[in-house]
Structure 1
Amino acid sequence: MERWRLIVSGRVQGVGYRQACCLRAQSLGLGGWVRNRPDGRVELEAEGCSQNLEQLRLWCESGPPGAHVSGVSECVIPPGGHDWFEVRR
């Protein structure tokens, strides 16, 4: 079990990125959350097996239709025990 924090840059707010990310993470069986940041980026923490985390990271590089992702940064953080995925405000 691993936990990653991803910061997504580009046109990622106001395009349904958080909801689409949440649905993708849930479909992969991941726990965690996604939220908008005040600086215009999207931040998420996801927890699960490394293969599914990698699939989510790859999805984050393009996002939903209407998004324009310019970059995704990631770091591994200690597991938090999340067994659900949610959109945070």
Structure 2
Amino acid sequence: MDCRGCDKRQPRLVPGLWTTRRLWMGCRTQWRAGLGPLGLDYNAVQVAAGWLGIRIDERIFGHLMWLEHWTLEASRREQETEQRKARMR
């Protein structure tokens, strides 16, 4: 399925970001949560980085923050859509 216009489409990962991708995949379940995701648990991210042999430098940290932001925005949009649907019932 072509998902270029999908709301849930993941951002395109350029080849220079493979280390960030490995770390993201290694810690993608490590979120602080309340009624929804609040942000990454950076203590757990640091542990995952150590297990993967990745040193988090300023560049990788910036990439993680961007991915975190993108994920939180997608979650927020999804919650808003669900709330609109619930109001219409």
Report the TM-score when normalising by structure 2.
Answer: 0.32
Greater relative contact order structure (CA < 8 Å, 6+ sep):
1
Q: Which structure has the larger Rg?
A: 2
TM-score (norm 1): 0.32
* Structure (1/2) with the larger helix percentage: 2
Structure with the higher fraction of residues in strand conformation: 1
